[in-house]
Structure 1
């Protein structure tokens, strides 16, 4: 469930912009009755990066005996995007069902890779999902995926490390976070409140700070990596960086894991999918989960990771594939998805049994309550670039370098912006004009 940078997926699907989409519609019958489609003999190809998809497919086949699946396991989200892009360019070879990270939904939609699910009635599920995840799968007036999991941000912190520095309560504001940051590093020069982060972290923190640096309207893209929210976070994080209070360890690296387990890294600012993932980082009870700090103490959060399921434009079995997504939208089908991710469905986020589940990792804390509250406070209006994969990939050339060297983050953001404007123009978009 980790948030993954879409490394290598920078090649934009440019068919739509050039006026000639490579996403051949296939031999789909045009049938929109999903129940009728699922009652017929059909084999659906389902690409995935998850180890759990085959079990889900088997369960769906039990519910719909005429439906069989050819599950194709690929290495990671990047591999799925790359393979789908190649299929679009070739005009053939796409599966029926494909997972899509929220950050790459605009890219794949504008490239003509994903089918509009509205004709199959999936738009009726809008009230079932959190506003942020539903917004993530609606692009240019089309519903192009159904939300699977979500990643409203929380703060997971090492209570012992904080207390050693004299901090007895979780910071509720960024000013309090700054105080804790200085105290932790002063108490132990080898300890840090957090690591400096990567592209996914940085964009989520900009979002949580009220920034909206990316907007897209058709072929017109606006990039402003010095808007108020973006600059607010860059200034704050740059101060921590200049003070030497942030670790340079790469998230998920062996060294990062070692720092967590040896009480040298005090805080994870991540999606709520990480709530259930702390068993590998030391004895139970060392960590607690708290809401994200905010600028004024009022709840404000962002999504950090998560994905949905889509039907491809090339599928010859769109109605049946859409029927599978309907099954997975609620009831037993949704329970299958929720077994391995943080929910995006409101009913599940409000389920008392789930909310009150005690986590041994946090000494019995019902930490899902914090994640559910975060889902309600995700700030509206966020958009990803229609080439977010490329943006994440080149982040290390500018902002990443500044994070590693203690450089000026605002200057680095402007350098990143220049790169993104140039790339967008090369891909056929009209950027910042």
Structure 2
């Protein structure tokens, strides 16, 4: 999964809201148990919206939702798991953090009794389910939402260049060639930053037993054809000055969308909601969605619920019941999709009529069908606890290639050496 974009999205949204840590429902005299759920925006809102349904089933079990900003939440969960202090009963985890949490032994193995969560596998999008397994194949979290990748295209800019979406889709080389035509005809950039191409292309062509940067035995994989191709394509985009060289979720990035300076965006399906509500609402009707170029299918983030291994044993049964409600109830999953653009990991929801409805921001295009198709074609990628560190290393080396002329082979050799030193930590 493309974690970096999802992280920036969460951080950007979190910065718009004050962190809160208050009980949603105060225990009454009849309450016998109080569960604590640790979450971040907008997962906290989804949990709170589900509580009326929870109280109907369990009126004697109160729920406190403790919400922190995205980065603060995951830092707090890391500390809680390592010290066993202030452990919640249920914790929400973003996909980019799941690797480091799943390998440390701090989460309950939900595939084992008394949970027996393995029986739920057929109900979830396959790649999301695989992401919730630790290296031993044990379930340590349950997926709730996903971010199938999509390409958003600015119709008016393509029209001025004499292009249609189909011209950008056959291959990544066609995508870059179309970008050159768009730049010549309109002055607009193809993409915000060439790093985004690298983030996608290194996630294609991953073999069995391999992860993104490491295989199942923690061998480093960056010296491989998929990394070479990703670096070559990103370098070419930078060489032709087709990227605006702005970072996602920055003020400059948002302003470029508002001013019609970016012709495409490669992101998760949730980006449409962010564009419509926060980033560039005045561009409504000027965009359309398509699959990523070259029949590429990747995921952008996602949310999972887990139970800390050392949380209070007397509350674990109710914690599991709450996770099951949040992840398996089609009505609640659909409500979260409508309210928070939380694309359901639950397959039961995927045939809902809501998927056929037109999206006003996309000029009436029923794009959810497209994203549903993409979600089912994403290949699972094995997670590793050092993936976030590897993201930083590889991104830095790509900057060295694009901006300082460092040879690609030398950059990947240097990245490999650094990652080898961290692989088994």
TM bucket, shorter chain: 0.7 to 0.9
Shift of 1:401: 4.7
The DSSP-based 3-state class of the residue aligned with 2:299 is: coil
2:414 corresponding residue in structure 1 = 415
The DSSP-based 3-state class of the residue aligned with 2:59 is: coil
Contact 1:196–1:247, Cα closer than 8 Å, also in 2? yes
Superposed CA RMSD in Å reads: 2.7
1:306 lines up with 2:309 in the alignment: no
Deviations 1:129-180 (A, max 9, x none): 1111000001122111111111111101101111112212332222321221
Q: Which sits farther off after the overlay, 403-412 or 131-140? A: 403-412
The DSSP-based 3-state class of the residue aligned with 1:141 is: coil
Matches within 5 A, 1:290-301: 290-294=290-294, 299-301=295-297
1:319 corresponding residue in structure 2 = 317
In the alignment, the residues of structure 2 paired with residue 232 and residue 394 of structure 1 have an alpha-carbon distance, to the nearest angstrom, of 17
With over 3 angstroms needed to count, the CA separation of the structure-2 counterparts of 1:238 and 1:138, relative to structure 1, is: same
Larger relative contact order, structure 1 or 2 (CA cutoff 8 Å, min sep 6):
1
Shift of 1:96: 0.9
Contact 2:31–2:62, Cα closer than 8 Å, also in 1? no
2:41 corresponding residue in structure 1 = 50
Structure having the higher helix fraction is 2
Query: Which of 64, 79, 101 is the aligned partner of 2:58?
Result: 64
1:105 lines up with 2:108 in the alignment: no
Query: Which of 169, 189, 193 is the aligned partner of 2:190?
Result: 193
With over 3 angstroms needed to count, the CA separation of the structure-2 counterparts of 1:198 and 1:65, relative to structure 1, is: farther
The DSSP-based 3-state class of the residue aligned with 1:143 is: coil
1:135 lines up with 2:134 in the alignment: no
In the alignment, the residues of structure 2 paired with residue 197 and residue 114 of structure 1 have an alpha-carbon distance, to the nearest angstrom, of 36
1:117 lines up with 2:110 in the alignment: yes
Query: Which of 145, 148, 169 is the aligned partner of 2:144?
Result: 148
With over 3 angstroms needed to count, the CA separation of the structure-2 counterparts of 1:304 and 1:413, relative to structure 1, is: farther
Query: Which of 1, 6, 21 is the aligned partner of 1:3?
Result: 6
With over 3 angstroms needed to count, the CA separation of the structure-2 counterparts of 1:96 and 1:237, relative to structure 1, is: same
Deviations 1:252-298 (A, max 9, x none): 1111111111111011111112233321413321100011111xxxx
In the alignment, the residues of structure 2 paired with residue 198 and residue 74 of structure 1 have an alpha-carbon distance, to the nearest angstrom, of 29
With the length of structure 2 as denominator, give the TM-score of the two structures: 0.83
With the length of structure 1 as denominator, give the TM-score of the two structures: 0.81
Q: Which sits farther off after the overlay, 241-250 or 57-66? A: 57-66
Contact 2:213–2:390, Cα closer than 8 Å, also in 1? no
Contact 1:132–1:378, Cα closer than 8 Å, also in 2? yes
1:225 lines up with 2:222 in the alignment: yes
In structure 2, the gaps of 5 or more residues are 12-29
The DSSP-based 3-state class of the residue aligned with 2:222 is: coil
With over 3 angstroms needed to count, the CA separation of the structure-2 counterparts of 1:359 and 1:213, relative to structure 1, is: closer
1:354 corresponding residue in structure 2 = 354
The number of residue pairs the alignment matches comes to: 385
Shift of 1:408: 4.9
